[in-house]
Amino acid sequence: MAPNAPYEICFVPKSREEEEEDEKIYKRYKEIIATTLPIAGGLLGEPMYQYQGFWYSSRVGSVGPLAVQDHFRARASDILIASIPKSGTTWLKSLAFAVINIKSHPPSVQQQHPLHIFNSHDLVPMLEIRLYNNDFNGNRIPNLDILPSPRLFGTHMPYTSLPQSVTLSGSRIVYICRNIKDNLVSMSRFIIKMRLALSLEPMKVEDILEWFCKGRCVIGEVIEHALGYWKASLERPQNVLFLKYDKMVAEPALHLKRIAEFMGCPFSSMEEKEGVVHQIIKLCSFENLSNLEVNKTGLSDGGFLNRAYFRKGKVGDSANYLSPKMMEQLDQIIEQKLHGSGLTL
């Protein structure tokens, strides 16, 4: 039997009255969504709702974003791994976890490392998709106070929708995004796999991309998501680190050191001499993680297959899927949305 993910301790037993209270809270969010927000069908056959300008799939978060805003209390020492889905979240979570836990879990002892036992989404749980997702937590509000500092969480929520306590407390956010075309192709391939697993009618990449460009989870949203964090990283560089997957693939050691420094645990010169940076890069590499039993089997957040988080791990793969016409269409949208921002994607 698979061991319990470490975050499970947040779901401490509660009295019947407390459980009923939690259920009421989630029921209220469901009512708010059903009665006040725009609803539409999603690509996985699920309803989606539009909240504060962004579309959310009920499959990956249900009422989560609303619950996070009301109930998550950030600490100054918290670190949030924020991202657009399919931009390298699984990788960044692995790197951040390995760095934060370097003393208790030295990367030199790879076979016993938690990353060999758990998918990184189980080690760095998503706030809205896992911890405050009523569909996966049995309608319970988690008690995150019992987690020791520094706490590491993930989120796909846009910057403007993060709970106020994140900005007020001074928590740090490490954000990752990626070349938009690669991001969209990666998302499309993920959706294709998931539709197969859910026995939904097959879809082609081109159809899904058309859908992204015209409908919900529009490309503009992906860009606006990145723009929100980009602006925050310019305004609050000590609190928001903005990373690009493509650059990290090109220079992993440089970026890993930046991440460690930003998170407040830079590598010592002794650690560098001992090759710790390269041990972490190897531990978290696509080749290593994608071949681990835990990532070949098993399910993670939202009931997704762990193996669906690993596809090719390459930069520029969109060229193999997008027609010149589609490339041009995307270039126009990207140019228009990013114009004057100083951000390139």
**Cα angle 169, 172, 177; round to 5:** 135
Please report, for residues 48, 58, 250, 259, 282, the alpha-carbon distance to residue 321 in angstroms, rounded to integers and kept in the order given: 26, 28, 22, 32, 29
Q: Is 116 in the site for ligand A3P (CB under 6 A)?
A: no
Q: Which of 50, 77, 285, 341 binds ligand A3P (CB under 6 A)?
A: 285
Q: Cα–Cα distance between 223 and 255 in angstroms, integer?
A: 22
Contact letters for ligand A3P, residues 175-204 (x by CB under 6 A):
-------x---x--x---------------
- Minimum CB separation from ligand A3P for residue 34, in Å? 29
Q: Is 279 in the site for ligand A3P (CB under 6 A)?
A: no
Q: Would you please indicate which residues are annotated as catalytic (active-site) residues? A: 156
Q: Is 295 in the site for ligand A3P (CB under 6 A)?
A: no
Q: Cα–Cα distance between 97 and 272 in angstroms, integer?
A: 18
Nearer to ligand A3P, 129 or 333 (CB): 129
Three-state secondary-structure class, residue 126? strand
Please report, for residues 82, 92, 93, 300, the alpha-carbon distance to residue 236 in angstroms, rounded to integers and kept in the order given: 15, 20, 22, 32
Segment contacting ligand A3P (CB under 6 A): 4-12, 30-38, 79-87, 99-107? 79-87
Nearer to ligand A3P, 216 or 255 (CB): 255
Phi-psi label, residue 314: left if phi above 0, alpha if psi -120 to 50, beta otherwise: beta
- How many amino acids of this chain bind ligand A3P (CB under 6 A)? 21
- Cis check for the bond before 38: say yes or no (omega within 30 of 0): no
DSSP state of 265: -
Nearer to ligand A3P, 58 or 295 (CB): 295
Q: Is 317 in the site for ligand A3P (CB under 6 A)?
A: yes
Q: Which of 212, 186, 213, 231 is nearest to 332 (CA)?
A: 213
- Minimum CB separation from ligand A3P for residue 22, in Å? 29
Q: Which of 313, 329, 338, 341 binds ligand A3P (CB under 6 A)?
A: 313
Beta bridge partners of 177: 244
Q: Is 312 in the site for ligand A3P (CB under 6 A)?
A: yes
Contact letters for ligand A3P, residues 81-110 (x by CB under 6 A):
--x-xxxxxxx-------------------
Q: Are 90 and 310 in contact (CB under 8 A)?
A: yes
Tokens 């993680």 — which residue? 289
Nearer to ligand A3P, 26 or 159 (CB): 159
Nearer to ligand A3P, 66 or 95 (CB): 95
Q: Cα–Cα distance between 166 and 174 in angstroms, integer?
A: 13
Q: Is 119 in the site for ligand A3P (CB under 6 A)?
A: no
Q: Are 79 and 171 in contact (CB under 8 A)?
A: yes
Q: Is 289 in the site for ligand A3P (CB under 6 A)?
A: yes
Helix (H) / strand (E) element for 183: namely: helix 180-197
- Minimum CB separation from ligand A3P for residue 7, in Å? 18
Q: Cα–Cα distance between 157 and 82 in angstroms, integer?
A: 7
Q: Is 311 in the site for ligand A3P (CB under 6 A)?
A: yes
Q: Is 55 in the site for ligand A3P (CB under 6 A)?
A: no
Q: Which residues bind ligand A3P (CB under 6 A)?
A: 83, 85-91, 182, 186, 189, 284-286, 289, 309-313, 317
